[in-house]
Structure 1
């Protein structure tokens, strides 16, 4: 059985000077092509994407106006543009998420030469610095496995969680697919700088002021001065 083609699917916006270049550089050996939705960048994000993925087929769609205030429309756009490329496997990562360095092409090759599982689940670690992740009552995403790599099945009708925030990166339908949990870890650097946390806190207050789609206590904890942090170990 041949290894299935892997399509990286990603949403970006104003990622210059952040984590995008390293993320794409780290992941390019894992993928065969990429679909990127640029949600209205005004910086050099397009150039970063094309440079980091040079030599890899790239479908780049740029929105004139941001859709993130209604995330479900953005995620549906991402999904629709991705499946139009006839993908076999979809690797859905955000611009500030990276697999640990030990996760390589050989591992993903072994994962995809099989017909038993349609989804791979991984653990996501919310990095509160470049070397530490947060772990407490409100921040423990890394204790649970979530879907990041999905085999696309064209014979299935896909349904979404229809909420303007926290709608999920994949359609809800995939939770019905056969899956396997994989030990490789993903580092999420979107919280690792104080300015990032302040930006996200303000964004949640604007887009979800009543915490209708999220967890109010978690929102409130974002700016805590001395949260419990754990050293990242390879």
Structure 2
């Protein structure tokens, strides 16, 4: 569903990404692995259209919606929530940004709350949430518009085992529904557990790329 060809991004003298070519298909989870400063977040921001100034090409081969951005759900490392209001209010806000309204919006909020395991906490202020609950809600806000491509930038940093389990279960459901997931992580055990393919990036270059089971043998 997504093809990258010869993507390059340079910040002054620093080559953040150097000639990156990748293909992403539906129904798979792709692990993106590399040290800090390797270029992972830059790559994710280019795919999600946050960074638009780069060389090379990015093509959505199945973009059936009017705007390719509509098919993307982006979950950044930073938690982007308004903590003085409830989970329901946060989801409602993001849903309206995506153009959802009325019964459609209410239905999607309830579905997402169930998926992230926060139905019974929907009317609680986010300031009272644990770190893991905030992470789950942060993911839920990016799923309201049923995106086809979900980008997760280290979503399990500092969370509890229960929240990690919810996130992994969500990823399996998304794959079953034909979504493509790009999952950046420092934890190889996570990549082994949930990813079908892995992309190892270092100093802006792809060091290894392929099926997880094959890479593990190497």
TM-score of the alignment, normalized to the shorter chain, above 0.5: no
The bucket for the TM-score relative to the shorter chain is under 0.3
- Greater length-normalized contact order (CA 8 Å, ≥ 6 residues apart): 2
TM-score if structure 2 supplies the norm length? 0.26
